[in-house]
Protein backbone atom coordinates (compact mmCIF):
# COMPACT_ATOMS: atom_id res chain seq x y z
CA UNK A 1 0.00 0.00 0.00
CA UNK A 2 1.54 3.28 -1.10
CA UNK A 3 1.56 6.24 1.26
CA UNK A 4 1.90 8.79 -1.51
CA UNK A 5 0.14 8.52 -4.85
CA UNK A 6 2.41 8.04 -7.84
CA UNK A 7 -0.05 10.00 -9.93
CA UNK A 8 -3.31 11.64 -9.11
CA UNK A 9 -3.70 13.77 -12.19
CA UNK A 10 -7.11 14.64 -13.61
CA UNK A 11 -6.88 12.10 -16.47
CA UNK A 12 -6.19 9.25 -14.04
CA UNK A 13 -9.23 9.67 -11.79
CA UNK A 14 -12.48 7.95 -12.71
CA UNK A 15 -16.01 8.15 -11.36
CA UNK A 16 -16.43 5.24 -8.97
CA UNK A 17 -12.76 5.04 -7.93
CA UNK A 18 -12.62 4.25 -4.22
CA UNK A 19 -9.80 4.71 -1.77
CA UNK A 20 -9.07 3.42 1.72
CA UNK A 21 -6.41 5.96 2.57
CA UNK A 22 -3.27 4.39 4.03
CA UNK A 23 -2.52 6.68 6.94
CA UNK A 24 -4.34 7.27 10.19
CA UNK A 25 -3.88 10.19 12.57
CA UNK A 26 -4.30 10.23 16.34
CA UNK A 27 -5.77 13.51 17.59
CA UNK A 28 -4.05 14.93 20.67
CA UNK A 29 -5.34 17.30 23.31
CA UNK A 30 -2.67 19.77 22.14
CA UNK A 31 -4.11 19.61 18.59
CA UNK A 32 -7.59 20.30 19.93
CA UNK A 33 -6.59 23.16 22.20
CA UNK A 34 -4.41 24.79 19.55
CA UNK A 35 -7.19 24.66 16.94
CA UNK A 36 -9.85 25.81 19.40
CA UNK A 37 -7.89 28.71 20.84
CA UNK A 38 -6.19 29.58 17.54
CA UNK A 39 -9.57 30.13 15.88
CA UNK A 40 -11.02 31.93 18.94
CA UNK A 41 -13.69 29.25 19.27
CA UNK A 42 -15.51 29.99 22.53
CA UNK A 43 -17.50 26.73 22.74
CA UNK A 44 -16.50 25.49 26.18
CA UNK A 45 -17.01 21.83 25.32
CA UNK A 46 -13.70 21.98 23.42
CA UNK A 47 -11.50 23.27 26.25
CA UNK A 48 -13.36 22.99 29.60
CA UNK A 49 -13.27 19.39 30.82
CA UNK A 50 -15.80 19.93 33.64
CA UNK A 51 -18.23 21.66 31.31
CA UNK A 52 -17.97 19.09 28.52
CA UNK A 53 -18.39 16.07 30.80
CA UNK A 54 -21.35 17.56 32.68
CA UNK A 55 -23.33 18.94 29.72
CA UNK A 56 -26.22 16.91 28.27
CA UNK A 57 -26.39 14.81 31.45
CA UNK A 58 -22.81 13.58 31.02
CA UNK A 59 -23.17 12.39 27.43
CA UNK A 60 -19.51 13.14 26.64
CA UNK A 61 -16.54 11.41 28.27
CA UNK A 62 -13.92 14.07 27.44
CA UNK A 63 -13.48 17.45 25.82
CA UNK A 64 -14.89 17.34 22.30
CA UNK A 65 -12.47 17.79 19.42
CA UNK A 66 -13.51 20.81 17.38
CA UNK A 67 -15.34 19.85 14.19
CA UNK A 68 -13.12 22.04 12.04
CA UNK A 69 -10.07 20.13 13.25
CA UNK A 70 -11.73 16.77 12.58
CA UNK A 71 -12.62 17.94 9.07
CA UNK A 72 -9.09 19.25 8.41
CA UNK A 73 -7.44 16.00 9.55
CA UNK A 74 -9.74 13.78 7.49
CA UNK A 75 -9.42 15.90 4.33
CA UNK A 76 -5.66 15.85 4.90
CA UNK A 77 -5.71 12.05 5.08
CA UNK A 78 -7.36 11.94 1.63
CA UNK A 79 -4.81 14.26 0.05
CA UNK A 80 -2.06 11.78 -0.83
CA UNK A 81 -4.42 9.90 -3.13
CA UNK A 82 -6.67 12.64 -4.44
CA UNK A 83 -5.24 16.14 -4.20
CA UNK A 84 -1.47 16.07 -4.42
CA UNK A 85 -1.97 17.53 -7.88
CA UNK A 86 -4.75 19.92 -6.92
CA UNK A 87 -4.44 23.56 -7.86
CA UNK A 88 -7.11 24.56 -5.39
CA UNK A 89 -10.17 23.73 -3.32
CA UNK A 90 -13.45 24.88 -4.85
CA UNK A 91 -16.07 23.58 -2.42
CA UNK A 92 -16.85 21.54 0.66
CA UNK A 93 -20.51 20.57 0.80
CA UNK A 94 -22.88 18.27 2.67
CA UNK A 95 -20.49 18.11 5.63
CA UNK A 96 -21.84 16.48 8.77
CA UNK A 97 -20.42 15.19 12.04
CA UNK A 98 -22.51 12.21 13.20
CA UNK A 99 -20.33 11.16 16.16
CA UNK A 100 -17.97 12.93 18.57
CA UNK A 101 -14.19 12.82 18.43
CA UNK A 102 -12.14 12.94 21.63
CA UNK A 103 -8.43 13.53 22.16
CA UNK A 104 -6.72 10.16 21.78
CA UNK A 105 -9.03 8.95 18.99
CA UNK A 106 -7.32 7.80 15.81
CA UNK A 107 -8.97 8.92 12.58
CA UNK A 108 -8.94 7.18 9.19
CA UNK A 109 -10.50 8.10 5.85
CA UNK A 110 -12.05 6.61 2.76
CA UNK A 111 -13.20 8.32 -0.44
CA UNK A 112 -15.18 7.73 -3.60
CA UNK A 113 -14.84 9.82 -6.76
CA UNK A 114 -18.27 11.16 -7.74
CA UNK A 115 -17.55 13.44 -10.68
CA UNK A 116 -14.66 14.14 -13.07
CA UNK A 117 -15.43 16.96 -15.52
CA UNK A 118 -13.63 19.41 -17.76
CA UNK A 119 -13.25 22.95 -16.48
CA UNK A 120 -13.70 25.33 -19.44
CA UNK A 121 -11.74 28.17 -17.84
CA UNK A 122 -8.66 25.97 -17.30
CA UNK A 123 -7.77 23.62 -20.17
CA UNK A 124 -4.75 22.53 -18.11
CA UNK A 125 -6.96 21.22 -15.25
CA UNK A 126 -10.33 19.66 -14.47
CA UNK A 127 -12.85 19.37 -11.66
CA UNK A 128 -12.88 16.35 -9.39
CA UNK A 129 -15.60 15.87 -6.81
CA UNK A 130 -15.33 13.14 -4.19
CA UNK A 131 -17.19 11.97 -1.12
CA UNK A 132 -14.99 11.51 1.93
CA UNK A 133 -15.75 9.64 5.12
CA UNK A 134 -13.72 9.95 8.30
CA UNK A 135 -14.02 7.27 10.92
CA UNK A 136 -12.48 6.18 14.21
CA UNK A 137 -10.68 2.91 14.81
CA UNK A 138 -13.96 1.48 16.18
CA UNK A 139 -15.51 2.08 12.74
CA UNK A 140 -17.87 4.88 13.78
CA UNK A 141 -18.21 7.68 11.23
CA UNK A 142 -17.16 11.07 12.61
CA UNK A 143 -17.31 13.28 9.51
CA UNK A 144 -18.50 12.96 5.95
CA UNK A 145 -18.93 15.34 3.08
CA UNK A 146 -18.16 16.18 -0.53
CA UNK A 147 -15.03 18.02 -1.67
CA UNK A 148 -14.58 19.63 -5.09
CA UNK A 149 -11.04 20.36 -6.25
CA UNK A 150 -9.34 21.69 -9.36
CA UNK A 151 -6.77 19.08 -10.42
CA UNK A 152 -3.86 19.43 -12.83
CA UNK A 153 -3.85 17.50 -16.10
CA UNK A 154 -0.80 15.28 -16.59
CA UNK A 155 -0.76 16.41 -20.24
CA UNK A 156 -0.15 20.00 -19.09
CA UNK A 157 1.95 19.53 -15.94
CA UNK A 158 3.42 16.01 -16.03
CA UNK A 159 6.66 16.91 -17.77
CA UNK A 160 7.47 19.84 -15.49
CA UNK A 161 6.38 17.82 -12.42
CA UNK A 162 8.81 15.07 -13.43
CA UNK A 163 5.92 12.64 -14.16
CA UNK A 164 5.68 12.60 -17.95
CA UNK A 165 4.09 9.14 -18.42
CA UNK A 166 0.68 7.89 -17.41
CA UNK A 167 0.14 5.96 -14.18
CA UNK A 168 0.54 2.22 -14.62
CA UNK A 169 -2.65 0.32 -13.77
What are the start-end ranges of the E strands in the chain? 18-20, 25-26, 86-96, 106-118, 125-136, 141-152
Mean pLDDT of the chain: 90
Residue percentage of the chain with pLDDT more than 90? 69
What are the start-end ranges of the E strands in 44-124? 86-96, 106-118
Distance of CA 104 to CAs 30, 42, 60, 64, 74, Å?
A: 10, 22, 14, 11, 15
Global pTM? 0.89
- Bridge partners of residue 86, in order along the sequence: 151
Contact call for residues 165 and 100 (beta carbons, < 8 A): no
Q: Which residue has the higher pLDDT, 111 or 120?
A: 111
Burial degree of 150 (CB within 10 A; 0-12, 13-18, 19+): buried
Residues 10-27+65-161, CATH architecture: Roll (3.10)
**Predicted local confidence at residue 166, as pLDDT:** 58
What number is the average pLDDT over the span 8-14?
Answer: 92
**SS3 state at 164:** coil
- Confidence band (pLDDT; 50, 70, 90) for 34? very high
What number is the average pLDDT over the span 17-33?
Answer: 95
Question: What are the pLDDT digits (tens) for 112-168?
Answer: 999 999 998 899 999 999 999 999 999 999 999 999 999 999 888 888 877 776 554
- What does the buried/exposed string (b/e) look like for 74-105 if buried means 16 or more CB atoms within 10 Å of the residue's CB? bbebbbbbbbbbbbeeeeeeeeebeebbbbeb
- Confidence band (pLDDT; 50, 70, 90) for 4? low
Amino acid sequence: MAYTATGSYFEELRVGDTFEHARGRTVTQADNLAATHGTLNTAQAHFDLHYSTSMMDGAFAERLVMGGLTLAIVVGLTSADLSENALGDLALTAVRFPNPVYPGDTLYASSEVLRVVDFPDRPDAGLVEYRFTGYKDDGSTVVEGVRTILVKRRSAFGERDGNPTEREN
